[in-house]
Amino acid sequence: MSGPEFGPGNHDDSDEFDAPAEVVAAARTQRRIALGYGLVFTLAIFASPVLSLTLPWWSGARLLGGMSPGFVAAAGGIYAFLLALGIAAASLARSVEVRMLGSSDEDDPAG
């Protein structure tokens, strides 16, 4: 007894296969998403030093406890922003991939 044979003409009708053009289009879209979010990441990282050099109140003003706005941004604000940015990028990339390529029944948590 031999196992199932796989080849160009032996696909089940219930199986779904993505065409190479669909995969390339999905990869291009994912690359655009990654570059866009990478740009936002880079701007967020360079924002604090640029603000410190251009706005005197960024490092001179005092908030609660004597902390400057720059210190608050560096101590906690950037981490909260980057967490939100990562979640947004991952959810957008996942939804684009599912929409463009679909998912198999094994990958689909809904059934």
> Which pLDDT tens digit goes with each residue over 48-81?
899 999 999 888 889 888 899 999 998 899 999 9
Is the residue at 51 inside a domain?
yes
Is the residue at 46 inside a domain?
yes
- Model pLDDT, residue 60: 86
- Structural domain including 90 reads 21-101
Is the residue at 78 inside a domain?
yes
What would you report as the CA-atom Rg of the chain, rounded to the nearest whole angstrom?
Answer: 24
> Which pLDDT tens digit goes with each residue over 7-51?
555 555 445 677 788 888 888 998 999 999 999 999 999 998 999
| Upper half-sphere CA count for residue 84 (Cβ side, 13 Å) | 8
Is the residue at 15 inside a domain?
no
CA nearest neighbour of 97 among 83, 82, 86, 107? 107
Number of domains in the chain: 1
- Model pLDDT, residue 96: 87
Q: How confident is the model at residue 2 (pLDDT cuts 50, 70, 90)?
A: low
Angle, CA 29 vertex, CA 27 and CA 33 arms, to 5°? 115
- Model pLDDT, residue 9: 55
Is the residue at 3 inside a domain?
no
